[in-house]
Structure 1
Amino acid sequence: MAAPLGGFDIDAPRWDQGTFMGRLWHFFSITDCRTALLPDARLDEAKALVESCRAGTLPPGTTKEQLYYAKKLYDSAFHPDTGDRMNLIGRMSFQVPGGMAITGFMLQFYRTVPAVVFWQWVNQSFNALVNYTNRNAASPITPKQIGVAYVTATSTALATAVGLNLYTKRAPPLVARWVPFAAVAAANCVNIPMMRQQEILNGIAITDENGNRLGHSQKAAVKGITQVVISRVTMAAPGMIILPIIMQRLEKYRFMQVSLRRRHVTLVFMVPAACSLFPQRCSMAVSKLEPELRDAIVSQHGDAVRYVYFNKGL
């Protein structure tokens, strides 16, 4: 029988977000690809239950298990800054099936320039949508800026992929198999900062430990975006670096022909693991902020505020 509901803080993390394992369990929950199959009506029900809990008006008989599941659906489908339902393809819960399919095609079709161009374009289009969806929504971005970011990132990926593809024509087959990863890594270093350029230009909203807004910081934005880039490259690395080595050695055996269809199961583990490298609620010492912002915080709060906090995005 489900445990009865006592005092319950719906916004308190179920797992300790100060540890890697706590964050890993959290992201295993919200990146569960099964939640991507749920209809919008079910997600809206979960949001309504979360909001009811925040307001202290829960329906009679509500259990903690129901609240935990509602919060799981809410975190997987609704933006943490705006509370708006995110588009399906941009959700982290869609990263496993979407990334699995695209990565498979990139690793399979890497020998010809047209194939490289097409699948890198598909991949960067997918990444651009994911980056936009999971940005810090407190920093708006215009359609023109989105277009420039998309074209720049896609061009970077294509130039890297095509250039390396031509350069490795006479290289060993294994080296050629690593071309897609090099292109993906290079594009991530461009795609994410470009899609979130407003945060770098105008700063990201920072708060104290209790959520009270203190201003906007460009340095905090750079730190958060850098961590996201590292996470995204890490997310792709095992499937695009290690697996090609295994494929190179084993795909000649007949029994591997079926097994290779499952080679991208690593994404099931790497998406939450990469997201868990850094806390979602990122922190930064006041002493490392811009001088003007740092002085303003110190003059208003003295030594009471030593660290500021912000949503780094995903």
Structure 2
Amino acid sequence: MDPNLLYWKSQGQSVLSRVRIWCELLDPSLLLCSDAQLQRARSLAGGGETSEKDAAAQTLALSSIHADSGAVLPLLFRPPALMPVSAPLVVASFLPHNSVKPALFWQLLLQSYNAGFNYTNRNSSSQQSKTASLKQLLLIAGTVSYATCAGALPQIFINRLGVRSAPIQTFLRSILPIPLSAALAFFSVSTIRIEETETGIQVFDSHGSPVGISKAAGEKAVRETALSRAALFGTTAAVPNLLIALLKRTKLFQRNSLLVAPLRHISIALILGLMIPVSFSLFPQLGTIKKETLEKELQAAAADGHLFYHRGL
């Protein structure tokens, strides 16, 4: 079992402890380290040491090294890059637009980045090739295209149908994006990582030894990650809209309507930043699957009643 997975096996047993760990791993300053430093950190992290130096190496390895391949993750798709890269895209995508083109543009950027992040941080334990196949590339392109058009639907409805009613515009701009954002986030993870459900992922026994490939574990890993991503984007869409709706009732914002726009920007970025470590922590990185839900040929290996699998991110 990879040193990163061994760490998650011994740490992060509760949601709160995982949140604390992810708050450290999401530090953007970790992006400044070179590939050579990351490889040294990986070697130190696997040495079983407990010194302060090795704790820092462990943090660096967890944030930048893929647990299946052992390769350094691309800079833009490392977990610490998610907040600084996606925040401006999410803010721009959630803002009300005057026409369809800017809505499509920002949705295209956001959905493209989400697809890249989902693919890069998937479980790749069953894949023989490190390069994406033509089928996978077409699937990614189709997912991005569909999610882009679906994400811009509220603006498309307003423009193409000539919606002028204030209540309907409020519904399309403030309410519809909440379930839509959650559904598209769930859809993106489920489709980008569908290969894990079709071919399965590697499972481990309690000693960390690989015992086989399980489709049931792949389905569970993808479902958990999709739910966590839906919680991330659904909450990021819901809370700022609720906050703005409440503040618009106050005299301060009724007299100073120009305060609404900057508050919307700040609240979206703030909620996104708070929700990223929470959403990553909803399910363990090293998940467990019960013996009775495994394939028959793998049940004998589950001596403790369960096996372990890498969930991906």
Point out the more displaced range, 121-130 or 111-120: 111-120
CA contact (8 A) 1:110 1:176 kept: no
Alpha carbons of structure 1 residues 106 and 180: separation in structure 2 relative to 1, 3 Å: farther
**Residue 136 of structure 1 aligns with which residue?**
123
Aligned equivalents of 1:190, 1:145: Cα separation in 2: 17
Helix, strand or coil at the partner of 1:214: strand
Alpha carbons of structure 1 residues 41 and 174: separation in structure 2 relative to 1, 3 Å: farther
CA contact (8 A) 2:200 2:218 kept: yes
**Residue 25 of structure 1 aligns with which residue?**
20
Alpha carbons of structure 1 residues 39 and 12: separation in structure 2 relative to 1, 3 Å: closer
**Residue 242 of structure 1 aligns with which residue?**
239
Q: Counterparts of 1:246-285 in structure 2 under 5 Å?
A: 246-248=243-245, 249-250=247-248, 252-254=256-258, 258-263=262-267, 264-285=269-290
TM-fit CA distance, 1:257: 5.4
TM-fit CA distance, 1:116: 1.7
Helix, strand or coil at the partner of 2:211: strand
TM-fit CA distance, 1:261: 4.2
TM-fit CA distance, 1:197: 2.1
**Residue 115 of structure 1 aligns with which residue?**
102
Alpha carbons of structure 1 residues 26 and 148: separation in structure 2 relative to 1, 3 Å: same
Aligned equivalents of 2:297, 2:157: Cα separation in 1: 48
* Ranges in structure 2 where 5+ consecutive residues have no aligned partner: none
Q: Which amino acid aligns with 2:89?
A: I
Aligned equivalents of 1:129, 1:23: Cα separation in 2: 24
**Residue 86 of structure 1 aligns with which residue?**
73
Point out the more displaced range, 143-152 or 13-22: 13-22
1:306 equivalent to 2:301? Answer no
Helix, strand or coil at the partner of 2:75: coil
TM-fit CA distance, 1:195: 1.8
TM-fit CA distance, 1:227: 0.6
**Residue 226 of structure 2 aligns with which residue?**
229
* Identity, % of aligned positions: 22
Q: Counterparts of 1:57-72 in structure 2 under 5 Å?
A: 64-72=51-59
TM-fit CA distance, 1:41: 4.0
Alpha carbons of structure 1 residues 157 and 65: separation in structure 2 relative to 1, 3 Å: same
Alpha carbons of structure 1 residues 225 and 267: separation in structure 2 relative to 1, 3 Å: same
1:149 equivalent to 2:139? Answer yes
Helix, strand or coil at the partner of 1:89: helix
Aligned equivalents of 1:311, 1:125: Cα separation in 2: 24
Match of 1:217 among 211, 214, 218: 214
**Residue 103 of structure 1 aligns with which residue?**
90
**Residue 36 of structure 1 aligns with which residue?**
31
Q: Which amino acid aligns with 1:87?
A: P
Q: How much is the aligned-residue C-alpha RMSD, in angstroms?
A: 2.6
Match of 1:194 among 191, 195, 219: 191
Alpha carbons of structure 1 residues 261 and 313: separation in structure 2 relative to 1, 3 Å: same
**Residue 60 of structure 1 aligns with which residue?**
none
Aligned equivalents of 1:222, 1:14: Cα separation in 2: 20
Aligned equivalents of 1:101, 1:15: Cα separation in 2: 36
| Higher helix residue share | 2
Alpha carbons of structure 1 residues 258 and 39: separation in structure 2 relative to 1, 3 Å: farther
1:158-212 deviation line (CA, Å, top 9, x unaligned)? 3323433334534133541345444433332332122222211111111111112
* Ranges in structure 1 where 5+ consecutive residues have no aligned partner: 1-8, 57-62
Aligned equivalents of 1:143, 1:179: Cα separation in 2: 35
1:106-137 deviation line (CA, Å, top 9, x unaligned)? 12254421122111111111011101111012
Residues paired across the two proteins, number = 292
Match of 1:293 among 293, 297, 309: 297
**TM-score, scaled relative to structure 2:** 0.83
Aligned equivalents of 2:38, 2:210: Cα separation in 1: 29
TM-fit CA distance, 1:214: 1.9
Point out the more displaced range, 248-257 or 88-97: 248-257
